[in-house]
Amino acid sequence: MSSPELSASASASAHASASDRLSGADALPGRLPALGYGAANVGNLFRALSDEEAWAVLEAAWDAGIRYFDTAPHYGLGLSERRLGAFLQTKSRDEFVVSTKAGRLLRPNPDHEPGGLDTAHDFFVPDDLRREWDFSETGIRASIAESQERLGLDRIDVLYLHDPERNDLDLALAQAYPALEKVRAEGLIGAIGVGSMATDALTRSVREADLDLIMVAGRYTLLEQPAAAEVLPACAEHGTGIVAASVFNSGLLAQPEPQRSGRYEYGQLPEELWGRLVRIAAVCKDHDVPLPAAAIQFPLQSSLVRSVVVGGSRPAQLAQNAEYARLEIPAELWRNLAEEGLTA
């Protein structure tokens, strides 16, 4: 099966034109696939998976044609990287793109007690390690080496600085980004970027560092597009590509019929967003388009967005998401959403 691409010709052509002109594209082993798998779930996010269950999820992603895989040391205190790496070692290295993240080093946790779990970060793994911020060049290089060891791969294609604003964005701009630019110049990393859900941090990072890609988490989705105001214009100005993540808004857009009880980030869905979600779902229904399919394909309507990364903890979810990514969606749907003020 070929890698998933959008069936809508307008989306495919826009995606291709962006890929052709973006800096750092030549450093990747091919054009970044339109659909990627975010591997937090195989790091036991929200619930524990056995090694066999995690393997089945990754196998389903591969069988569905997914060839871009994103992970991080943060995901399951290294478990996601280890499981993903073990799986990808069975594949030809030139057949896939892998990204991971830097900024948090994993070190022994002196407060670990037998049976303790990392549930404070929503990962069901032993908390025998802890995360330590380190934006220095030494720390960035250590993070790369340790990620490569866990992955067991000869190279990392894309390295994102992970949530720098949660530690110190000014320090990241002074130390981490110059270090990333240096390891990219040395050929140690193919492309560099930042992953965050904070639009101000993303905008500053694009404007003040030489980045190839940014991963926008939950801020450019079918439900809400705060990144459209400043992040996208900054990317257009600087030739920086975008990977859209968390496009289901904590699962709100993952079902054909939205649920009022659905979780929104760390709490309940605000009333104004619920009303917006209902209206979006109605437009999708009018066009006989499943809400999750529109959610996956919406970010790719922008020529700046090179890939959409979705998660999943069950094989069937991966197969379904790949089908949604290939579904032909009429251009009229996007026009109607924009005309009703539901999308930017």
Tokens coding 322: 């790949």
Contacts of 164 (CB under 8 A, 6+ apart): 103, 135, 171, 172, 176, 194, 196, 201, 205
User: Strand (E) positions, the chain?
Assistant: 35-38, 68-70, 97-102, 104-108, 129-133, 156-162, 189-196, 213-217, 241-245, 263-264, 267-268, 305-310
Instruction: State the Cα–Cα distance between residues 227 and 247, nearest whole angstrom.
Output: 13
DSSP 32: P
- Cα angle 91, 63, 294 (rounded to 5 degrees) comes to 125
Q: Give yes or no: 160 in active site.
A: no
Considering 75, 177, 264, 324, which one is annotated as catalytic?
A: 75
**Separation CA 266–CA 102 (nearest Å):** 24
Distance of CA 2 to the CA centre of its chain: 21
Catalogue the E-assigned strands of 169-257.
Answer: 189-196, 213-217, 241-245
3-state secondary structure of 216: strand
Contact 284, 308 (CB under 8 A): no
The length of the chain in residues reads 344
Nearest by Cα to 248 from 313, 321, 302: 321
Active site residues: 75
